[in-house]
Amino acid sequence: MSKLFANKKLLIIVLAAVLVLAGGGGAAMMMLKKKKPDAKAAGPKPVATEIVDDAKGAAGGEAQTGEAKAGEGEAKEGAAPAKEPATKKSLTYGLEKFTVNLLDPKGRWFVTTSIQIEMDSAKARGEIEEKVAPLRDATIMLLSSKTREEVQSIGGKERFKRELQLRFEGILGADTVKNIWFSDFMVVTR
């Protein structure tokens, strides 16, 4: 009898997992099929849209994938060859993984994340390496002041990145930090 009950539990868990995956897939498809608004009529872009555009190379930026785009570098017939933009090689420094309790009255929610700090000079990297403890402390203090709702959305993560960059620049000096990247970011409950 207990074996039958255990099999029912397993079946319920599997069905729940399938439903969650199907719901996530359906939501992703709906988001991908949405019509893109006219950029001229829309006004300012939301932060999430700007991020996606930056990653794709829109809005004047180039995606930093390290791979050449199709047709890039090839001279078009009758056109002068395009000049390569002069760019500094950017450097990153990875802080150790963070596991931080979020601001939650019941203490159930926490975040596990890894953060990469981008800078554009070896001198800045040296400064970061010297001040890892204050940078980690600033990250923990800021993250622990956030609720699950504040960090779960794309906009919330972007806001957190901007606030964190300001705190890092307060520790390291202005214009030391070029960007902050999450190499993973999970909001988890106990």
pLDDT band at residue 9, thresholds of 50, 70 and 90?
confident
pLDDT in tens, 119-159: 988 899 999 999 999 999 999 999 999 999 999 999 999 99
Q: CB count, 10 Å around CB of 128? A: 21
pTM over 0.75: no
CB atoms inside a 10 Å sphere around CB 146: 22
In the chain, domain spans:
1-35, 91-189
Contact at 8 Å (CB) between 158 and 48? yes
- Give DSSP secondary structure letters for 125-150: HHHHHHTHHHHHHHHHHHHHT--HHH
Contact 114, 154 (CB under 8 A): no
Q: Is 52 helix (H, G, I), strand (E, B) or coil?
A: helix
What CATH homologous superfamily does 91-189 map to? Band 7 domain (3.30.479.30)
